[in-house]
Amino acid sequence: MKLKLSVTKGDIKNGGQAQPDNCAVARALKRNIDGIKNVSVFVNHAHFSVKTNKKFATYVCSMPKEASNFIRNFDRGLAVTPAKFTFNFTPIAYYKTANY
């Protein structure tokens, strides 16, 4: 799944440093993907699960270099500005559950 993502001023302002599930990029993912669950964004990769009907799928991607630099600077408390990144997520698991 190719995803073009815009990280906004609001994502940056409300995101938490060194919080994989609440950093600026994670917040942008949550804003842009319906049914998203369990988001984790790291310097070298990101993954999330998404619910569609009663099924879930888990996706993962290697972090683009520009996004890695953005995350590294954000986590260090350095100034970052709104940015756009393109991610190539690959599904790695599909599963069915009633308790998610």
pLDDT in tens, the chain (100 residues): 899 999 999 999 999 999 999 999 999 999 999 889 899 999 999 999 998 777 888 999 999 999 999 999 999 999 999 999 999 999 987 777 655 4
46 Cβ contact list (under 8 Å, min separation 6): 25, 26, 29, 39, 40, 60, 61, 63, 87, 89
Query: How much is the pLDDT for 98?
Result: 53
pTM over 0.95: no
Closest by CA position to 52, among listed 26, 34, 29: 34
